[in-house]
């Protein structure tokens, strides 16, 4: 009797855990521009954090200059790609909707 109760409880637990309600849906599909906007914000936040850490004396000058240069270069690349997308120009290495490289 205990074995049947354990099996029933396990079955109910499995059904409860793996049951996906109909009200759950996928979020909006991400576009390349929205991804780049999120990435831009992350890079800007990293630059602000780096500046704060440098002013607090936690980052040596050489490391600060190197990290700042690489973050600024990444931000410039992201901004350039965003402006190309806004202008409607194809971005190198990006595939179109048919999976063909542009």
In DSSP notation, 2-57 reads HHHHHHHHHHHHHHHHH---TT----PPPPHHHHHHHHHHHHHHHHHHHHHHHHTT
How many domains does the chain fold into? 1
Q: Give residue 26's pLDDT.
A: 72
Establish if 48 belongs to a structural domain: yes
Q: Looking at residue 94, what is its pLDDT?
A: 55
Residue 7 lies in a domain: no
Check residue 59 and give its pLDDT: 95
Does residue 34 sit within a domain? yes
pLDDT digits (tens, 9 = 90+) for 12-27: 999 988 887 777 777 7
Whether residue 100 lies inside any domain: the answer is no
pLDDT in tens, 52-94: 999 999 999 999 999 999 999 999 999 999 999 999 876 565 5
Look up the domain containing 34 and give its range: 30-85
- Residue at 76 is within a domain: yes
């Amino acid at each position: 009797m205990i074995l049947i109760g354990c099996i029933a409880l396990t079955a109910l637990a499995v059904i409860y855990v793996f049951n996906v309600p109909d009200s759950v849906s996928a979020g909006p599909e991400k576009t390349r521009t929205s991804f780049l906007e999120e990435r831009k914000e992350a890079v800007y936040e990293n630059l602000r954090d780096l500046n704060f850490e440098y002013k607090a004396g936690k980052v040596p000058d050489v490391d600060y200059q190197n990290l700042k240069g690489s973050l600024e270069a990444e931000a410039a690349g992201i901004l350039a790609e965003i402006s190309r997308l806004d202008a409607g120009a194809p971005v190198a290495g990006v595939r179109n909707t048919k999976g063909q490289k542009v």
